[in-house]
Amino acid sequence: MNEQELWRLMRRVRDGKMSRRAFARRMAAFGITAPMATQLLTFAGVSPASAQSVPAYRPTRRGGGGHLKILYWQAATLLNPHFAVGTTNQDASRVFHEPLAGWAADGTLVPILAAEVPSIENKGVAEDGRSVTWKLKRNVKWHDGEQFSADDVLFNYEYAKNPQIAGTTSGSYRDVNVVKVDDFTVRVEFDKPTPFWADAFVGAVGLMIPKHLYKDYAGANAREAPANLRPVGTGAYRFVSFAPGDLLRGEAFADYHTENRPYFDTMEIKGGGDAVSAARAVLQTGDYDYAWNLQVEDQTLQRLEAAGRGRVNIVEGGSIEFIQLNATDPNREVDGERSHISTQHPAFRDPAVRQAMALLVDRQSIQNFIYGRTGPATPNFLNAPPRFRSPNMTMEFSVERANQLLDQAGWARGGDGIRAKDGVRLKFLYQTSINAPRQRTQQIIQQAARRAGIEIELKSVVASVFFSSDVGNPDTYGKFYADMQMYTTTMPQADPQRFMNQYVSWEVSQKANSWQGRNIVRWRNDEYDRAYRAAEGELDPVKRAALFIRMNDLIVGSNHVIPIVQRPLVSASLNNLRPVLSGWDTTMWLLRDWYRET
Amino acid sequence: MPRKRVSPWGEAWRRFRKHRLAVASAVVLSVIILAVLLGPLVWRVPIDEIDFSVRLEGPSWAHPLGTDDLGQDLLARMLYGGRISLAVGFAAMLVAVLLGTLVGSVAGIASGRVDAFLMWLTDLFLSLPELPLLLLVIYLFRDTLRSLVGAELGVFILIVSVIGGFRWMPVARLVRAQFFSLREKEFVEAARALGASTPRLVVRHILPNALGPVIVAATIDIAAAIIAESTLSFLGLGFPPDIPTWGRLLFDAKDNLDFAPHWALFPGLAIFLTVLTINFVGDGLRDALDPRRVV
């Protein structure tokens, strides 16, 4: 069996034309074991049999589920998805508006307004990667009874990319061209081969607003559209009332395009409070069905869970808490700029020092004693979706080995116990934002480092300053005027392309780009740059995944970046509620499938 | 019948002893100060020894005040942090008293334009918001001082000078008012008639008599400075996060309040006791040093 044939088979499985079992049998005939066959399938974008993209939906009729109460400790303020800033507004508008497709928890696409997910087999994705054709469902009605069609999709494209409207979604539409093929088919065209084509019209940036209500507000007056606060969409729930910053209510839409959905007759999203009281309202008192984004220590969650009313949902995404070891010198000023790209860090330029630092991070304890379930330790920077996770990296905590390494590299202990070599002392400034778990992590690493003869000075900055893009402030993470820093970086899509650009040489954060560059650690590597360029145009998913894994190995292997723990999404729901959640899309991405088990 | 001769300080001590709460407070305060000064010599557990096997434990013989979530000994951290909190308090008080006395005496003795200007300056300072300014000063000068004297001492100098620099105004007003009344008194007139120079009048005759209220104001300043440092540490500013001042301990403890109350209780109690006892001692001193008051 040659490679092409193998690919053909795997695609058939992915599209549901062939069962996984049949595939495994065929592979066994060629001497490939079942686990190996499953592994092969994941490379083709097919999830293992145990984890279906979307859990089964049990209710057999529409409505009859009563009232659904959702709690958001940050409330939504507007409902037009093209103006949505932050996840709360994206979530609230997602209740009424739908995209062509959404991202499931395993990082695969689920068709919503599209009749099917485009692929090379169904001629949706062009072989040369220059266009993707979406076929729309034909039975979709807006909440006011109008028919949904390709004209609406085209309108959303023009609306989103219109600079007069200045929508938050414009980035996904600016560089593509969209044409209407027929009333229920649209084609998105790209300038160059694009392996990651599922951006426009997909997920949070792809929510559809109706042309017939917005066409008179598709210019500078866009913010005045009455529908901005009284949305008309295609979703399973339609609008009832909205008090910005407080309460949003909806009711089941009788003409919804998918049968037996939704389950609940009415629903509400209540805003306000804080994360701990939100967790309490679900887990302890059972006043609400679901509470969003619980940034609460795991110990607290566990004690609330012990009440037995609800449970904590932990959904894996790509967010990761990690340490950066500055590649440049933060204490030397060149052209009025510290951490200038022309400098080298006096200590971290020695690979032995970087490796020692990685050995001194006790990830397992940080997981066990600080983050708990909300932060699994990881050796990789790129962890998800699973097909992009490198098997090559390991994590080890060993003060002895760190000491050995430093001894061998000639860093000798001075009278005060601090190692030095050629006048460079191993004394580092380690900064992060103010957040209790981060300060605990800092202390754990500081103590281990002291035992290896490295002195670490801790610094914590208020989060609103640390994560700001204020050019005048020296304490921002983008400037990185410290030897080490730690924070969480998020992965916005189920594809790593926008995530892994954090280490390409042309993204270096510096004065010239007002420190907006994504490469904050200022590490540069030709092989990494080449791999990234190759991945941008690589259409073969297996080769592309291999390129991203190589990039992960390069940056993590350099030890300029030390991954600590993954940060999954944490929420709470009552025991009998069956929410469908995903780390790659907004919380409300499949609200139509939520139901209550009775 | 010959009366026993009593010096002014002896008389003050006699009056102070009559204020029972002040005496008790003075004892408690001395115990706290002694514990903080000598405690680390006796209790030799390191402040940052991480031991996950004993995390969040309540008081026991091994850890008399319990442990925090990294298993660090809270007694050792409290003793260490107390040094910093108390040092900040006393140093800031000294700065405030010195500045206030200087401004107050100059204004009080010079009167006229100088007095008007200095009082105008005092009013100006009174109207400045302390906390935002403290944040600004820390933001502006932290890095410079850090490179000059190190992180810990740099923040210490900043906090002390800012807190001290914003607490001198009441002292200055008190001293000025005392000067106004004292400089017209007969003994000052007499000294002036004998040819005493103005500096000598101020230093030898007026100032010692004006000091009573200043000492009282100073005690209150200590308490205010300790609280200001706690506020800063609680906001996560102030000292680096690994230095366990009392305010920082409280800040770290607040998320675990419901299942590890001891962690917040002891530093909170220490701040409470210190501030309360200092205030009572100040109260007692006021009674003792005010000659018009009959005790």
Distance from CA of A443 to the nearest CA of B (A): 7
B51 at the A interface (CB within 8 A)?
no
**Do A369 and A257 share a domain, yes or no?**
no
Inter-chain contacts counted by CB atoms under 8 A, chains A and B: 50
Q: Give the nearest partner residue to A297 out of B50, B237, B255, using CB atoms.
A: B255
A440 at the B interface (CB within 8 A)?
yes
Residue of A232, A231, A235 lying closest to A257 (CA atoms): A235
- For residue A481, the chain B residue with the least C-alpha distance is B143
Q: Give the nearest partner residue to A457 out of B55, B240, B259, using CB atoms.
A: B240
Distance from CA of A40 to the nearest CA of B (A): 42
Q: Give the nearest partner residue to B52 out of A369, A439, A458, using CB atoms.
A: A369
Assess if residue A53 is contained within a domain. Answer: no
Distance from CA of A439 to the nearest CA of B (A): 7
Can you give the residue range of the structural domain that contains B195? Answer: 9-39+72-289
Write down the H helix ranges in A125-186.
Answer: 150-161
Can you give the residue range of the structural domain that contains A411? Answer: 320-567
Tokens of residue A423, six digits:
């006048």
Specify whether the CB–CB gap between B62 and B50 falls below 8 A. Answer: no
Q: What is the pLDDT of residue A494?
A: 85
Q: Which residues of chain A neighbour B139 with C-beta distances below 8 Å? A: 475
Q: Please indicate whether, in this complex, the C-beta atoms of B48 and A474 are within 8 angstroms of each other.
A: no
- For residue B68, the chain A residue with the least C-alpha distance is A440
> How far apart are the C-alpha atoms of B243 and A343, rounded to whole Å?
32
**Arithmetic mean of pLDDT, A395-410:** 94
- CATH number for the domain that contains residue B96: 1.10.3720.10
Q: What is the pLDDT of residue A28?
A: 63
**What part of B 175-234 touches A (C-beta under 8 Å)?**
none
* pLDDT tens column, A252-278: 999 999 999 999 999 999 988 888 889
Assess if residue A60 is contained within a domain. Answer: no
Assess if residue B220 is contained within a domain. Answer: yes
**What part of A 289-318 touches B (C-beta under 8 Å)?**
297, 299-300, 303
Please give the residue that has the higher pLDDT: either A407 or A460. Answer: A407
B70 at the A interface (CB within 8 A)?
yes
A246 at the B interface (CB within 8 A)?
no
Specify whether the CB–CB gap between A344 and A517 falls below 8 A. Answer: no
Give me the phi and psi of A191, to 5 degrees please. -70, -35
State chain B's mean pLDDT as an integer.
85
Q: Report the number of distinct structural domains present in chain B.
A: 1
Q: Give the nearest partner residue to B236 out of A369, A446, A460, using CB atoms.
A: A460
For chain A, give the percent of residues with pLDDT over 70: 93
**Do A280 and A159 share a domain, yes or no?**
yes
Assess if residue A61 is contained within a domain. Answer: no
Assess if residue B66 is contained within a domain. Answer: no
- For residue A439, the chain B residue with the least C-alpha distance is B241
**Do A29 and A81 share a domain, yes or no?**
no
Q: Please indicate whether, in this complex, the C-beta atoms of A369 and B55 are within 8 angstroms of each other.
A: yes
State chain A's mean pLDDT as an integer.
89
Residue A357 has pLDDT above 70, yes or no: yes
Strand runs (DSSP E) across A94-217, as ranges?
101-103, 109-111, 131-135, 177-182, 185-189
**Do A552 and A433 share a domain, yes or no?**
yes
Specify whether the CB–CB gap between A345 and A329 falls below 8 A. Answer: yes
Q: What is the pLDDT of residue B53?
A: 82
**Do A289 and A387 share a domain, yes or no?**
no
- For residue A444, the chain B residue with the least C-alpha distance is B50
**Do A13 and A121 share a domain, yes or no?**
no
**Do A7 and A78 share a domain, yes or no?**
no
> How far apart are the C-alpha atoms of B8 and A179, rounded to whole Å?
98
* Single-letter code of the amino acid located at B288: A
Selected residue of B50, B55, B147 to mutate for chain A interface (largest A Cβ count, 10 A): B50
**Arithmetic mean of pLDDT, A352-357:** 96
Assess if residue A382 is contained within a domain. Answer: yes
Assess if residue B163 is contained within a domain. Answer: yes
Cα A66 to Cα A62, A135, A263: the distances in Å are 11, 34, 8
DSSP-derived secondary structure for A19-63? -HHHHHHHHHHTT--HHHHHHHHHHTTPPPTTS-SSPPP---SSS
> How far apart are the C-alpha atoms of A165 and A155, rounded to whole Å?
13
Q: Give the nearest partner residue to B252 out of A436, A444, A475, using CB atoms.
A: A436
* Interface ipTM: 0.74
Q: Please indicate whether, in this complex, the C-beta atoms of B240 and A458 are within 8 angstroms of each other.
A: yes
A434 at the B interface (CB within 8 A)?
yes
Q: Please indicate whether, in this complex, the C-beta atoms of A458 and B252 are within 8 angstroms of each other.
A: no
Residue A44 has pLDDT above 50, yes or no: yes
Q: Please indicate whether, in this complex, the C-beta atoms of B242 and A365 are within 8 angstroms of each other.
A: no
**Do A578 and A440 share a domain, yes or no?**
no
Q: Count the Cβ atoms, other than its own, within 10 Å of residue A333.
A: 13
**Do A139 and A263 share a domain, yes or no?**
yes
Question: What is the Cβ-side half-sphere exposure of residue B248, based on CA atoms within 13 angstroms?
Answer: 22
* pLDDT tens column, A527-542: 999 999 999 888 888 8
Question: Please, what is the angle between helix B8-18 and helix B261-289, to 10°?
Answer: 130
Residue A86 has pLDDT above 80, yes or no: no
Which of A43-57, A567-581, B51-65 comes out lowest in average pLDDT?
A43-57
Q: What is the pLDDT of residue A24?
A: 65
A443 at the B interface (CB within 8 A)?
yes
Q: Please indicate whether, in this complex, the C-beta atoms of B242 and A458 are within 8 angstroms of each other.
A: yes
Q: What is the pLDDT of residue B205?
A: 85
Residue with tokens 């969040």: B56
* Single-letter code of the amino acid located at A411: W
- CATH number for the domain that contains residue A171: 3.40.190.10
Which of A549-558, B117-126, B150-159 comes out lowest in average pLDDT?
B150-159
Q: Which residues of chain B neighbour A433 with C-beta distances below 8 Å? A: none
Q: Which pLDDT band, with edges at 50, 70 and 90, does B292 fall under?
A: low
**Do A330 and A291 share a domain, yes or no?**
no
Q: Which pLDDT band, with edges at 50, 70 and 90, does A403 fall under?
A: very high
**Arithmetic mean of pLDDT, A329-350:** 93
Q: Which residues of chain A neighbour B52 with C-beta distances below 8 Å? A: 365, 368-369
Residue A36 has pLDDT above 60, yes or no: no
A578: β partners: A595
Distance from CA of A461 to the nearest CA of B (A): 8
Task: Write the CB contacts of B197 (distance below 8 Å, at least 6 apart in sequence).
Answer: none
Q: Give the nearest partner residue to B236 out of A297, A370, A462, using CB atoms.
A: A462
Q: What is the pLDDT of residue A462?
A: 79
Q: What is the pLDDT of residue A409?
A: 94
Q: What is the pLDDT of residue A21?
A: 64
Specify whether the CB–CB gap between B69 and B260 falls below 8 A. Answer: yes
Assess if residue A59 is contained within a domain. Answer: no
Assess if residue A480 is contained within a domain. Answer: yes
Q: Which pLDDT band, with edges at 50, 70 and 90, does A48 fall under?
A: very low
Q: How is residue A57 annotated by DSSP? A: P
B236 at the A interface (CB within 8 A)?
yes
Assess if residue B48 is contained within a domain. Answer: no
- For residue A437, the chain B residue with the least C-alpha distance is B252
Q: Please indicate whether, in this complex, the C-beta atoms of A442 and B241 are within 8 angstroms of each other.
A: yes
**Arithmetic mean of pLDDT, A272-286:** 88
A215 at the B interface (CB within 8 A)?
no
Residue B295 has pLDDT above 80, yes or no: no
**Arithmetic mean of pLDDT, B20-31:** 93
**Do A519 and A547 share a domain, yes or no?**
yes
- For residue A482, the chain B residue with the least C-alpha distance is B143
Task: Write the CB contacts of A530 (distance below 8 Å, at least 6 apart in sequence).
Answer: none
Question: Would the pTM of this model clear 0.95, i.e. be above it?
Answer: no
Which of A139-143, A188-192, B46-50 comes out lowest in average pLDDT?
B46-50
Q: Which pLDDT band, with edges at 50, 70 and 90, does A50 fall under?
A: very low
Specify whether the CB–CB gap between B141 and B69 falls below 8 A. Answer: no
Distance from CA of B242 to the nearest CA of A (A): 7
- CATH number for the domain that contains residue A351: 3.10.105.10
DSSP-derived secondary structure for A192-212? S--S----TTBGGGG----HH
Q: Please indicate whether, in this complex, the C-beta atoms of B242 and A443 are within 8 angstroms of each other.
A: yes
Residue A2 has pLDDT above 80, yes or no: no
Q: Please indicate whether, in this complex, the C-beta atoms of B143 and A446 are within 8 angstroms of each other.
A: no
Q: Please indicate whether, in this complex, the C-beta atoms of A446 and B242 are within 8 angstroms of each other.
A: yes
* pLDDT tens column, A142-173: 999 999 999 999 999 999 999 888 888 888 89
Task: Write the CB contacts of B64 (distance below 8 Å, at least 6 apart in sequence).
Answer: B75
**Do A332 and A369 share a domain, yes or no?**
yes
Q: What is the pLDDT of residue A20?
A: 66
* pLDDT tens column, B210-234: 877 888 888 878 878 887 887 777 6
> How far apart are the C-alpha atoms of B261 and A77, rounded to whole Å?
38
Q: Report the number of distinct structural domains present in chain A.
A: 3
Residue A34 has pLDDT above 60, yes or no: no
Residue of B242, B264, B281 lying closest to B32 (CA atoms): B281
